[in-house]
Amino acid sequence: MIKKTLLSTLATTTGALVFSMAVAAGTSANAATSDCIADSAINSAALSNTGASGPFSVSTKTVSRSSANGFGGGTIHYPTNAGGCGLIGGIAVVPGYVSYEDSIKWWGPRLASWGFVVITINTKTIYDQPDSRATQLSAALDHIISDSTVGSMVNRNRLGAIGWSMGGGGALKLATSRSAVRAIIPQAPYYEGSYGTMNTPAFMIGCEWDTIAPTRQHVDVFYNNASGPKMKIEVNDGNHSCANSGYNEALLGKPGIAWMQRYIHGDTRFNQFLCAKENYGSIYRVSDYDYANCS
């Protein structure tokens, strides 16, 4: 009898403890920047600023090539004062063919200052093809999830990817195979053949006079085939590098931050800067603007 009572008490206590831990973990996992970014901080001017000018302070950590498993090293950008946000989204950013991290590095501090852990990477070789870049994006996401500095900050189920050129093709490919990737930004994306069915929320960036990945043969096709929430901005008079570091950061940072907040963190306060709520087509630097399936 005593033995039975003891076992019953232990089961009840253990069950209560497990339940409490699950509730605590769920609360932490579900918390997002809606809990820690004030409404007053979310405005067009703030989102259009460049650099690490969001509501959070940003620090960086170098990932050496030798310590990177499955990609070519890079830089982790992370908010240092976002502890009240709970777990936050993680984003990996990859450059294009024969290009390096510096070409896409601007996304790192920009997004980190708005409450994301971001890793901007180099590839194993500059000649890696889109499918390889997809694999390396995934490896980079795994790296930040397990990193000793930022791993405890990242929600492994709320991830994103950004890529330029063949890296944009890699982001499209990754979105078809890793369900935790909740949003992507392919910029001047390049992909030959089929990467599969893609229904992940996608903000696609095209460059009007792109001769390497012409918009009509690449980004327009990818955009038309995407079945999930989607938005497209084509940069007026832009060449293949129109969305790279030093080019159009103010123009593209605003919708980029809003897109990732909306679809990675689920923060609907950023809807006001997306799709029908914001007429990017009226801006002289935009030659084409479209959206569909926005929620």
- In tens, the pLDDT along 81-127 reads 998 999 999 999 999 999 999 999 999 999 999 999 999 999 999 99
Whether 28 is catalytic: no
CATH match for 31-292 among 3.40.50.300, 3.30.420.10, 3.40.50.2300, 3.40.50.1820: 3.40.50.1820
CA–CA distance, 112 with 91 (Å, rounded to integer): 9
pTM of the model: 0.89
Q: Where are the domains of the chain?
A: 31-292
CA–CA distance, 248 with 97 (Å, rounded to integer): 21
Annotated catalytic residue, options 165, 194, 245, 287 = 165
CA–CA distance, 253 with 269 (Å, rounded to integer): 16
Name the residue with tokens 């984003």: 91
pLDDT digits (tens, 9 = 90+) for 187-218: 999 999 999 999 999 999 999 999 999 999 99
pLDDT digits (tens, 9 = 90+) for 36-66: 999 999 999 999 999 999 999 999 999 999 9
The DSSP letter of residue 261 is I
Question: What are 210's two structure tokens?
Answer: 């792109």
